[in-house]
């Protein structure tokens, strides 16, 4: 990992609320003791990319309901077309679906909003 990649990883961790810069030092904002790093772990290029909040929410809903990803997407599409006549974004439909099934989504809202603004 070169210096630019390391900076990118730190910036990503700060933007996700995992690290904070205090008095010139990086400080973890999570319980470090709860994390196990496998021996020989090296971050790859995928670790340098921000997570896809839509996919993360699909994964959470699938895990909570026992549906596969296609079923989650199909149900979200039915919300868009059946309940809102097509006047709802897929991300919002996923949030509604998550709420209906008691799946946490609040931590993804900021990323979902950013995604919508890029469209």
**22 vs 116, higher pLDDT:** 22
Residue at token pair 């998550």: 98
Residue at token pair 């496998």: 38
Q: pLDDT by residue (tens digit) across 48-87?
A: 777 789 999 999 999 999 999 999 999 999 999 999 999 9
For the entire predicted model, the pTM comes to 0.65
User: Could you give the CA distance from residue 74 to residue 94 in angstroms, rounded to a whole number?
Assistant: 10
Mean pLDDT over 100-113 rounds to 90
Beta-carbon contacts of residue 109 (< 8 Å; ≥ 6 apart): 95
Domain range list for the chain: 3-48, 53-118
* Alpha-helix runs per DSSP H in 43-89: 53-65, 69-78, 84
């Amino acid at each position: 990992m070169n210096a630019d990649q390391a900076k990118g990883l730190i910036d990503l961790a700060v933007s996700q609320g995992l690290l904070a810069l205090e008095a010139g030092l990086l400080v973890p904002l999570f319980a470090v003791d709860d994390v196990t790093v496998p021996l020989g772990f090296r971050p790859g290029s995928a670790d340098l990319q921000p997570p896809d909040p839509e996919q993360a929410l699909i994964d959470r809903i699938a895990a909570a309901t026992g549906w596969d990803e296609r079923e989650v997407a199909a149900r979200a599409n039915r919300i868009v077309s059946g309940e809102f006549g097509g006047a709802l974004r897929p991300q919002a439909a996923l949030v509604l679906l998550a709420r209906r099934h008691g799946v946490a989504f609040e931590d993804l809202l900021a990323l979902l909003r950013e995604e919508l603004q890029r469209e």
